[in-house]
């Protein structure tokens, strides 16, 4: 566009750079996703997140649950000159396109009824400590959201409509929701899949891979970057960050 008659459009671009030394976070959420606690839907979201980390070298970690994901950039990133509007546009469109492309892998017998879309925002995170507090907050929301969803859909399956079920549980605290699951549906919340209770953390880490074997059968190993998906009760804890260096 440089030195062309269209160069004037640059005058309308927003100056929204995320300034150093802030860490760039991109939070995205599905606009429409039915029963987001469905295991296949969660696995689809995780698979999309893995592809984001594979595509963009500057993204080192992601945390997601239900119908949302947060992507964490390395502190030194200069991705699209750190312009929030550009970063958000790329990530929402890229994630939406992956979601559509991968749908049949996880729902081979269920047609996608409508075109999914994701909205989001860019968050400037001042430090690693602030990032850990943010992740702790999102994981607490994960627990509470999943408790509500587990109760809500079981009440719907029992015969209530969605509004009746929500009105019934909307003021319940965690203890009351746990009791409802156990007393009414014989479900121990702590036995549910970790992906439901804890969310998923996708990160790049270093591990050893066997690349080949010598003539006498001894393995030759090399350190390589890997993308792994883990589930942890406390993703903001020192132990988690010591075990999973990003």
Count of other CB atoms within 10 angstroms of residue 144 = 13
Per-residue pLDDT tens digits for 8-28: 666 666 677 888 888 999 999
The per-residue pLDDT for 58 is 93
Burial class (CB in 10 A: 0-12, 13-18, 19+), 202: buried
Of 69, 56, 61, nearest to 118 (Cα)? Answer: 69
Q: Which residues of the chain have pLDDT under 70?
A: 1-6, 8-14, 33-37, 207-215, 217-223, 242-246
Q: What is the pLDDT of residue 10?
A: 66
Q: How confident is the model at residue 230, as a pLDDT? A: 84
pLDDT of residue 36: 55
> Which pair of tokens denotes residue 194?
């970790």
pLDDT of residue 2: 58
Q: State the pTM of this model.
A: 0.84
Q: 98 near 52, Cβ under 8 Å?
A: yes
């Amino acid at each position: 566009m440089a030195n062309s008659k269209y160069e004037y459009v640059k005058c309308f671009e927003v100056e929204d750079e995320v300034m150093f030394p802030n860490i760039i976070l991109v939070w995205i959420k599905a606009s429409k996703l039915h029963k987001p606690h469905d295991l296949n839907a969660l696995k689809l979201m995780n698979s999309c997140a893995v592809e984001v980390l594979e595509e963009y070298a500057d993204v080192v970690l992601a945390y997601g649950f239900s119908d949302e994901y947060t992507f964490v950039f390395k502190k030194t990133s200069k991705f699209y000159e750190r312009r929030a509007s550009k970063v958000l546009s790329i990530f929402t469109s890229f994630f939406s396109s992956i979601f559509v492309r991968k749908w049949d892998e996880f729902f081979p017998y269920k047609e996608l009824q409508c075109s999914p879309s994701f909205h989001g925002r860019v968050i400037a995170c001042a430090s690693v400590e602030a990032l850990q507090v943010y992740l702790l907050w999102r994981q607490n929301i994960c627990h509470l959201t999943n408790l509500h969803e587990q109760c809500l859909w079981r009440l719907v399956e029992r015969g209530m409509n969605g509004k009746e079920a929500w009105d019934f549980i909307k003021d319940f605290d965690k203890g009351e929701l746990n009791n409802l699951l156990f007393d009414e549906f014989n479900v121990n919340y702590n036995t549910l899949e970790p992906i439901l209770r804890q969310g998923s953390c996708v990160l790049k880490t270093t591990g050893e891979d066997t690349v080949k074997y010598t003539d006498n059968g001894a393995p030759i190993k090399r350190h390589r970057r890997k993308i792994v998906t883990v589930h942890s009760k406390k993703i903001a804890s020192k132990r988690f960050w010591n075990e999973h260096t990003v």
